[in-house]
A and B are shown apart, each in its own frame.
Chain A
Amino acid sequence: MSESLFGMPPANVDADIAEGRVALTVDTSLHSLDAIYAAAYAFIGRCYVLLERPAPERVRVVLAPKPSGADGDALRALIGEFANELLSATWRREITRSNRALIEAVTMQAFAGALGSPSLDDLEAFQFGDEPFEDPLGIAQSWEEKYRKKPRTPEEPTE
């Protein structure tokens, strides 16, 4: 028999305490299917997890603890923990999505660096006549250029 749990929204959470099951109905416009999979996957070690499709925009996640005989408080704690895990999974996916451009740029630079020396075609296409960039502090100078001994010029005789 389905019943609501204290402190949980009855429209989203229902439980069958006699059967030792609790369910959360998720709106897939708020949480993606991938996030639901990630959260559900984290619970298959200690629960039996079944996903149902009550409506096109809804997924119902049914959790049944493996040692049967869980009471209402245990089921309430379990579904609350699942809801937190689902929120965390959704947030992780959002962070990944928003950082995608940065990750792609760093990966691109890493691959470009790993490609090695330019080919003869690259060197042929290189414009050696371009203006050199400004380097007033000498940062781009090599160690040898910066510290090599200057050739001694013969002193002119003083009168």
Chain B
Amino acid sequence: MIELRFHRDLYAGTAIDSALGRFAGVARFVRREDGADFVVEVHAQSPGRERTVAGELANFALGLTVEAGGPDR
């Protein structure tokens, strides 16, 4: 399992939700909130696949946040 932490000052919550929806078919995700962080657990068949999915998910969330003009105001 890989845990990703997305800080609210840096990532839009809507971008993370959209990214999770996009990758829903390739791994299992658990989303929760911890203080100022959106936390996403990535569960996949192998550590290598978890690394790839977690990295692509983070890139996708960052790209959508940038396109949205930044984090939620």
Contacts and interface: CB of A to CB of B under 8 A. Distances in A.
Interface of A: 33-34, 37-38, 40-41, 44, 48-53, 59, 64, 66, 68
A53 B55 contact: no
B51 A49 contact: no
6 contacts: A33-B70, A44-B62, A49-B62, A51-B11, A53-B10, A64-B55
Interface residues of B, number: 18
B66 A50 contact: no
Q: Which of B9, B55, B56, B63 gathers the greatest number of chain A CB atoms within 10 Å? A: B55
B10 A51 contact: yes
B66 A41 contact: yes
Given A44-B62, A53-B36, A37 B4 contact: no
B59 to A, nearest CB: 4
A52 B8 CA distance: 10
A24 to B, nearest CB: 14
Given A53-B36, A68-B51, A59 B10 contact: yes
